[in-house]
Amino acid sequence: MADPRRIVGVIGGLGPAATADFFSRIVQRTEARRDQDHLHIIIDNNPLIPDRNAARRGEGPSPGPELAASAQRLEAAGADILCMACNTAHAYETEIRAAIRCPFISMIDATLEDMSRRCPEVRTVGVLAVDACLEAELYQKGLLARGRSAVILGGGGQASFMTAINAVKAGETGDDPARRMRAAVQDLVTQGAEAIIAGCTEIPLVLKKSDAPIRLISSTDALVERVIIAAGGRLRQTDQFA
C-alpha cells in the first residue's frame, strides 16, 4: 500500500543554522514511535542564494531566480509540497510559485493564521524582523488585512536587532545577541505591542518564550505545524517557543 503522506521540499540555507533548526523542530513536533512515522523531507541547503537584505538595498542581485531554481530542484527530486525556512525571502514568493506545479506553503500566512488562532483578542502586534522583511511589509500588510496594527522597532533598536541577527548567523548564540533581542522585545512592548511575531528564523536560536512578558508567535514553529499537517504527519501536542 502506498504511503499517503506527501514528501516535503524545503528551500533552505537562509541561513543554514535556521534551516537546521527548522528541520529539528519538524522531527520534535512529529508524533512518532519509529523512524517510519516521520516525514520524508528533502532540503536544498543553498547558502549561495544572493543576500535578501543587500538586494532590497539595491546593492546586490535579486535572490528570486535562485529561489525559483531551488524550488524546481526540489520538485524534480520528488517533493509534493514546498516550503521555505526564511521570512524575508517570501518577498519573492511569486517567482517561486511561478516556477513550480506543486503547492507552496507560505511561512507568512502560517504565522499570521497562528497569531489569529492564539491571540484572537490582540489588536496591536509587534513585528520583530530584519530590515528587508520590514521594508517589504510582509507582516504589516497581512496584519492590516486582518484588522490589526503593527508596531516595529525604531532606528537604533532595529540596528541593534540586526547586529544580533548577524551575530547569530556568524555562529554567536551567547549573551550579547540574546540581550539585544530581549531589549527589542521590551521596546515593542513599550510601544504597545500585545503580542509579538518573531518574524526571522534566527530569533528562536537565542530567544525563548520566557524572555518576553507577552506571547511570542514563532514563524518557525507556525510553519513547522502547518507543514506536518499538510504532509499528512501526526502533530505532537506541545507548547514550545510559540
Q: Kindly list the catalytic residues.
A: 86, 200
3-class state of residue 1 by DSSP: coil
3-class state of residue 132 by DSSP: helix
CA–CA separation, 165 and 153 (whole Å): 14
Q: How distant, in Å, are the alpha carbons of 144, 180, 231 from that of 166?
A: 29, 12, 32
197: left (phi over 0), alpha (psi -120 to 50) or beta: beta
Q: Which residue in this structure is represented by grid cell 514568493?
A: 93
- Angle at alpha carbon of residue 156, lines to 179 and 149, rounded to 5°: 90
Q: Which of 129, 107, 120 lies closest to 195, judged by CA? A: 120
Exposed/middle/buried for residue 143 (C-beta within 10 Å: 0-12, 13-18, 19+):
buried
DSSP codes, 145-192: HTT-EEE---HHHHHHHHHHHHHHHTT--SHHHHHHHHHHHHHHHHTT
Q: How distant, in Å, are the alpha carbons of 20, 25, 39, 85, 198 from that of 235?
A: 19, 11, 11, 19, 21
The answer to whether the CB of 79 falls within 8 A of the CB of 102 is yes
